[in-house]
Structure 1
């Protein structure tokens, strides 16, 4: 296992799906996972420190876990099977660990709320991550390294990991009613969306 951090969230405009970029804590290896819009919003809201008047789904789950005197010990992205990533959520209660199957996006949304460490299996990283020989600060340069499995999508087709004002209007509307409507619409589109490699399936 190798520890990872969330490098950022980019947007595949062609596939109309967000991508969360995980980076190895040591080294410069990046693992991209296509996720749903609600999960991307849940991750970005917490990363950006945005306050909402009511708890979102992942806030609620975090509160439920805490109310049972349990805590999220770690989350692990375990494998890639048939173009879908799988993860495991590890909870600790009274010194005992319980592993729960999870989508990586849901596990990551919980990790940013609980400060739980993020891991990925070494085999998964070896087979699917892109490695850079030097430190990379430019999201577009990272995306350039994914061209082989992005089917030729250029960096210009992506927004950067830094969310602009227009992005916030889409993902994190300051108006509560608009936020609810946006997430309801996304839920309809992404209800059965699994975290994938190489983008969402073409309909």
Structure 2
């Protein structure tokens, strides 16, 4: 199991789809998940640290968990079946609840808990993510830059069918 972080959130205006990109905290692989607009808004709100006047659904769930004296320990992207990613919320006492990855990520950001992905999911759906520092330290910088260009080009032209659904 690998710890992940939200590396990006992109919008495909034409398809009205949103792409959530998770990246390994200590590694070079990422996961690209197509998510709905409400889930993208929830994630963006948490990333920006803004608080709406009334709680969004993921905030309400987080408040409810805390009101009952429980704690969310982490979320895990557990599986990829027929193009659909699956996740679990892992609470104290190892209580697990199945959830959509997009909702799980929004809740994790809200409560400040770690996001993980199973190694098998990364092996199956992971893509190589090259950063600026990789390009700076890579002896083959031009090749790395070309890989980044191709990956960005792919993301710009990707459709939900390329990844499956959340």
Q: Deviations over 1:80-127 (max 9, x none)?
A: 1011100010011xxx22000000001001000111101001111011
Helix, strand or coil at the partner of 1:145: helix
Verify: 1:125 aligned to 2:122, yes or no. yes
Matched position secondary structure for 1:45: helix
Aligned ranges for residues 71-82 of structure 1 at < 5 Å?
71-82=71-82
The answer as to 2:108 corresponding to 1:111 is yes
User: Whole-Å Cα distance in 2 between the matches of residues 14 and 130 of structure 1?
Assistant: 24
Q: 126, 145, 151: which one pairs with 1:145?
A: 151
Do residues 37 (structure 1) and 37 (structure 2) align?
yes
Quote the RMSD (CA, aligned, Å): 2.6
CA deviation after TM superposition for structure 1 residue 142, in Å: 5.6
Structure 1 unpaired stretches of 5+ = 158-194
Following the alignment from structure 2 to structure 1, what is the Cα–Cα distance between the partners of residues 12 and 149?
Answer: 10
Query: Secondary structure of 1:58's partner?
Result: helix
Q: How far off its partner does 1:50 sit?
A: 1.5
Structure with greater helix share of residues: 2
SS in 2 for 1:66: helix
Q: What's 1:183 paired with?
A: none
> 2: distance between equivalents of 1:91 and 1:199?
27
Judged with a 3 Å threshold, the aligned counterparts in structure 2 of structure 1 residues 38 and 143 are, in CA distance, closer, same or farther, namely: farther
Distance 1:146 1:83 in 2: 21
Unmatched tracts of structure 2, length 5 or more: 134-146
Alignment match, 1:178: none
Distance 1:124 1:197, change over 3 A: farther
Secondary structure of 2:157 counterpart: coil
